[in-house]
Amino acid sequence: MLKGRHLIDPMDFSLSEKDEIMDLADKIIMNPKLYADVCKGYILATLFYEPSTRTRLSFEAAMLRLGGSVMGFSSAESSSAAKGESVADTVKTISSYADICAMRHPKEGAPKIAAMYSDVPIINGGDGGHQHPTQTLTDLLTIRSIKGRLSNLTVGFCGDLKFGRTVHSLIKALSGYENIKLVLVSPEELKVPDYIKEEIQLKNIDFVEVDKLEEIMPSLDVLYMTRVQKERFFNEEDYIRLKDTYILDLKKLEHAKDDMIIMHPLPRVNEIAMEVDKDNRAAYFKQVKYGMFVRMSLIMKLLGVSIND
């Protein structure tokens, strides 16, 4: 039963619960109009302490498409956080107004604190370089929808694997499926954190770390590109030095499988050349739409609403 639960970490839900959310998302995709009023009378609060386009608008579009309403703020400066109000007090207040809350915060662990003080379900919309569980659900649904499975896959992650919360969350989630192989492509300075590698090793997941994308391209079923995130760097010189380390273009795709899929959590800077957008393997804009549908499903599950379908 998911009603009333919080989603802070991708591992908060079991594999069967994730499947339950994705199964409902599939039904919504097939007939979205059937779900147009299922959340009428409910309010979603979006508490975004740092900028976001896709995640915030995806949550808001999801709730509006379910017939509900939305309220919230899109930056810390436009909330009482600018006056020094704590996350605990903000959430305690907001949970008096709303039925469910999606939250993004630059500090790791902030949504977990929020969940301790909230009277309504809290959904982590990204906390610092830590976790991004609804992007993980989006990514899982994208892979399952296009590849038809979430097992027996070789998945490559390329770019900023140190600060990439989407990478950390998806690696953790994929580790629960059978016969998953991970290829981690990054410069030395942006390698996956040790705590993530330790979790992979504990689950006996095959993984390899390399610094060149071209040499492993033929083995991949999924390639997950990421941008080097300027906002996570304290030193701008380091950012400038590393930002163009990996740029995916059509030439690099010459030796990739015909049915490999290319994913990216977006926003893109220059790590995927525009020419790749027209390649049949490009799935990153499909991800955006899958994200809205999976958030529709998640909102329904956490609120405990359904239809007789």
For the segment 260-291, what is each residue's pLDDT rounded down to a tens digit? 999 998 888 888 999 999 999 999 999 999 99
Do residue 140 and residue 193 come from a single domain?
Answer: yes
Q: Give the full edge-to-edge strand order of the sheet including 206-210.
A: 206-210, 180-185, 153-158, 222-225, 261-263
Domain presence at residue 117: yes
Question: 18, 46, 55, 56: which is the annotated catalytic residue?
Answer: 55
- Asked if the model's pLDDT at residue 309 lies above 50, the reply is no
Per-residue confidence (pLDDT) for residue 151, from 0 to 100: 95
For the segment 66-118, what is each residue's pLDDT rounded down to a tens digit? 999 999 987 555 455 554 568 899 899 999 999 999 999 888 888 999 999 99
Helix axes 54-65, 133-147, angle to 10 degrees: 70
Do residue 192 and residue 126 come from a single domain?
Answer: no
Quickly tell me which residue has 């989006």 as its tokens.
138
Per-residue confidence (pLDDT) for residue 238, from 0 to 100: 52
Active-site residue 251, yes or no? no
For the segment 186-221, what is each residue's pLDDT rounded down to a tens digit? 887 788 999 889 988 888 899 999 988 888 999 999
Sign of dihedral through CA atoms 237, 240, 241, 242? positive
Active-site residue 104, yes or no? yes
Domains held by the chain: number: 2
How far does the chain reach from its first CA to its final CA, in angstroms?
Answer: 18
Do residue 59 and residue 173 come from a single domain?
Answer: no
The identity of residue 95, as a single letter, is S
Question: 104, 144, 264, 295: which is the annotated catalytic residue?
Answer: 104
Per-residue confidence (pLDDT) for residue 186, from 0 to 100: 85
Do residue 275 and residue 165 come from a single domain?
Answer: yes
Per-residue confidence (pLDDT) for residue 73, from 0 to 100: 83
Do residue 110 and residue 151 come from a single domain?
Answer: no
Active-site residue 56, yes or no? no
Do residue 72 and residue 103 come from a single domain?
Answer: yes
Do residue 211 and residue 282 come from a single domain?
Answer: yes
Owning domain of residue 84 = 10-131+291-303
> Which candidate, 138, 199, 90, places its Cα nearest to that of 104?
90
Active-site residue 65, yes or no? no
What's the CATH code of the domain at 141?
3.40.50.1370
Domain presence at residue 191: yes
Domain presence at residue 5: no
Question: 54, 197, 232, 281: which is the annotated catalytic residue?
Answer: 54
Question: 6, 130, 132, 264: which is the annotated catalytic residue?
Answer: 132
Instruction: Compute the average pLDDT of residues 49-75.
Output: 90
Per-residue confidence (pLDDT) for residue 283, from 0 to 100: 97
Does the bond joining 267 to the residue before it have cis omega, within 30 degrees of 0? yes
